[in-house]
Structure 1
Amino acid sequence: MDLAVDILMTMIEQIQKPTLAFLIGGMVLAAFNSKFEIPDPVYKFIVVLLLLKVGLSAGISVREANLIELAVPALGAAFLGIAIVLLGSRTIAKLRGVSHMDGMATAGLFGAVSASTLAAGMAMLDEEGMAYEGFIGALYPFMDIAALVTAIVLARLAADRKLAATVNAGGTATMGGGGSGPGFDGQMVKTILVDTFRSPAISALVLGLALGIFTRPESVFESFYEPLFRGLLSILMLVMGMEAWSRLSELRKVAHAYILYGLTAPLVHGALGFGVGLVIHATTGFSAGGVVLLSVMAASSSDISGPPTMRGALPEANPSAYLGASTGLGTPVAILSIPLWIVLANTFIGS
């Protein structure tokens, strides 16, 4: 009972703070059909700055970190990305009214990471005064790429198998090609990896990470990126709230299974991330804040790197399905659940 009260009180406190307040404010504006908008170039610029900030911060910390302490969380993040997609392949991809291709695209986005949700989690922990490892941002690519590659490879493999099964005795089919998309082979995996690294989100993050590790960007980081972080994040949350509300209408065009998945998956995935975080905490001394952010990453669904990757690799999948479920429901649920992971971390680990 006390835990439930703590969660409720933390939720109320967090809603009054900028991160969640701006997210909800954006949803309210969209609900009233407000004409307010942030130009798309400005939105993209804000995202790039936030990712550069996260990458620089992580790189500076990695430069000074014990590589063993970084390796274990990195492996945990990759494991989570793969596990979430495999779980999705047995749930959303199997539900009635959901095509396997659409289900795997949705699972891939939910296994990948939302930069805005991760940034929101960092901001909330900073406001709470809860410490976390500076290299957390470096875990983003491990989970993101593992999830996207797993989802696309499994979807393509299933598509090729379905094609082979439907070919008559007079036709021919091979597991390495044919169908409406690329076959399942090493070249396909290489293409996915290259496209993922070239995406704006991963490119900005990896660039910031490399600059933080191999150069000395502390002066520009402290004078420019750090002071702007919370203000830019508030604008991003406003945009995310408006977009989330607009995406809800798209879910009416697809199976109700996506609504159920979008509402429950972030909580299930976040709990899985919390469990993995506890294991890492017990083995390496991973901080309570680190466990929270690993949970946040697992609960989130990709809103930047994932959608263009899915559009390119799985063109047959319905964007209304996987974007509506992830951006329309998954993202706000993941952000609103951050106080839950904070309370659980304080309960089981302590600040």
Structure 2
Amino acid sequence: MTGLFENLTNPALLFFILGVVASQIKNDLSIPENSSKFISIYLLLSIGFKGGNELSHSDAGGEIYWSLLLGIFLAAVVPVFTYFILRRKLNTENSGAVAAAYGSVSAVTFVTAISFLEFKTATFGGHMIAVMALMEAPAIVVGIMLINTFRDSKDKDDKISFGGVLKHSLNNASVYLIIGSLIIGYLASDQQAEGIKPFTTDIFKGFLSVFLLDMGIRSGRHLGGIKENSWFLLLFGIFIPFVNGTAALLLASLITESVGNILLFAILGASASYIAVPAAMKNAVPKANPGIYLPMALGITFPVNVIIGIPFYFYLIEKIL
């Protein structure tokens, strides 16, 4: 277990914890909103470009195709079984919205996992960026399908437009930026990639640390909302990520032997969306309460994954392999 605790010394993770503590002790520490937006754009651009550049040096073999299929499978299946667990305590709309959030992914958690791999000098395939991007929309569509199928009969005529939902999902700013950066990185030559390396690589960890400090402050502010709603939701937000993450880890180990790729699959399975899904549900399912699915994803599951999940999965992968 010593290795597991050593993994927690990643400075980026410690900055996140620092932010959570700041919010809990009512410290006035904050990151300006415009700065936070700029850093999030930078992180997505950087990770997309680097992933695309790595992908350009990879052979399009069976592992890439299986990885893409596994990502879509996870995004479609996780919302289904989580929906029926949530229906024990929540109504149809809230169950579908939360299920969609847990079937989708968190780009920030994914980026943090990549930073962790770099800290451990472990490599990963550039195609994992494409896997992450592909997992956004299917979970939202499945969540909407579940709501349409199981909602009360009096609301059956109030159908939700799949075309609008799909368009909104695919046109999400985060998905657009990371896919666009992936394509640009794929097309760039080695000389061109080396030319902007100081921007895409050298300053990456510093910006990530500031961003995670900000996310720690935001996550800490949402903790109270979960406590007020239900212990059931609190426990769900803590334990379901480990169920999903471990299942994704085991499935990924069947198609790849790369420690980095398996870890990224585990964190994709474990993470919950607090950007794309809330934005989609706000328009598509106004009856769903954002005071439930947003605090669960951001206030509970995000810090659990960043502080405990990433080092835990890495430790587990090392033991398995």
TM-score by length of 1: 0.86
Q: Map residues 143-158 of structure 1 onto 2, 5 A cutoff.
A: 143-158=135-150
Change (3 A) 1:220 1:266: farther
1:1-351, aligned counterparts within 5 Å? 6=1, 9-68=2-61, 69-92=63-86, 94-96=87-89, 98-159=90-151, 162=152, 165-166=153-154, 178-179=157-158, 183=159, 188-216=161-189, 217-281=192-256, 286-335=257-306, 336-349=308-321
Contact residue 57 and residue 135 of structure 1 kept, 8 A: no
Question: What is the RMSD computed on CA atoms of the aligned residues?
Answer: 1.7
Aligned equivalents of 2:101 and 2:147: distance in 1? Answer: 13
Gaps of 5+ in 1: 1-5, 167-172
Once residues 232 and 194 of structure 2 are traced to their aligned partners in structure 1, the CA distance between those partners, rounded to angstroms, is: 49
Matching residue's letter, 2:222 = R
Letter paired with 2:14: A
Q: 1:234 to 1:95 in 2, by over 3 A?
A: same
Q: Which amino acid aligns with 1:190?
A: G
Report the residue type matching 2:263 in the other structure. Answer: V
Query: Residue type of the partner of 1:90?
Result: F
The verdict on how the C-alpha distance between 1:10 and 1:241 changes in structure 2, with shifts beyond 3 A counting, is farther
- Contact map agreement 2:55 2:125 (CA 8 A) in 1: no
What's the secondary structure of 1:344's corresponding residue?
helix
Q: For the residues of structure 1 that align with 2:177 and 2:278, how far apart are their CA atoms? A: 16
Distance in 2 between the 1:189 and 1:279 partners? Answer: 33
Shift, 1:280, TM fit:
1.3
Distance 1:26 1:11 in 2: 22
**1:23-44 deviation per Cα after TM superposition (whole angstroms, max 9, x unaligned):** 1100110011011111112111
Q: Is the 8 A contact 2:50 2:200 kept in 1?
A: no
Q: 1:109 to 1:65 in 2, by over 3 A?
A: same
Verify the 8 A CA contact 2:109 2:302 in the aligned structure 1. yes
Counterpart CA distance in 2 for 1:221 and 1:110 is 35
Aligned-partner Cα distance in 2 for 1:80–1:295: 10
Which has the higher Rg, Structure 1 or Structure 2?
Answer: 1
Instruction: Give the residue type in structure 2 aligned to 1:339.
Output: P
In the alignment, the residues of structure 2 paired with residue 215 and residue 289 of structure 1 have an alpha-carbon distance, to the nearest angstrom, of 23
Question: C-alpha separation between the residues in 2 aligned to 1:65 and 1:274?
Answer: 22
Structure 2 equivalent of residue 170 of structure 1: none
Question: For 1:151 and 1:10, how far apart are their aligned partners in 2?
Answer: 38
Runs of 5+ in structure 2 lacking a partner?
none
Whole-Å separation in 2 of the counterparts to 1:155 and 1:45: 35
Structure 2 residue matching 1:129: 3-state secondary structure: coil
Shift of 1:49: 0.9
Q: Give the Cα–Cα distance (whole angstroms) in 2 for the partners of residues 309 and 330 of structure 1.
A: 19
**1:293-321 C-alpha deviation (Å, 9 max, x unpaired):** 11011111113322212212221110110
Residue 124 of structure 2 aligns with an amino acid whose one-letter code is Y
Q: How far apart, in 2, do the equivalents of 1:134 and 1:337 lie?
A: 22
1:14, 1:20 within 8 Å by CA — same for their partners in 2? no
One-letter identity of the residue aligned with 2:53: I
CA drift of 1:10 comes to 3.2
Conserved 8 A contact 2:4-2:315:
no
| Residue 140 (structure 1) shift | 0.8
Shift of 1:220: 4.8
Q: For 2:195 and 2:179, how far apart are their aligned partners in 1?
A: 17
Equivalent AA in structure 2 for residue 147 of structure 1 = A
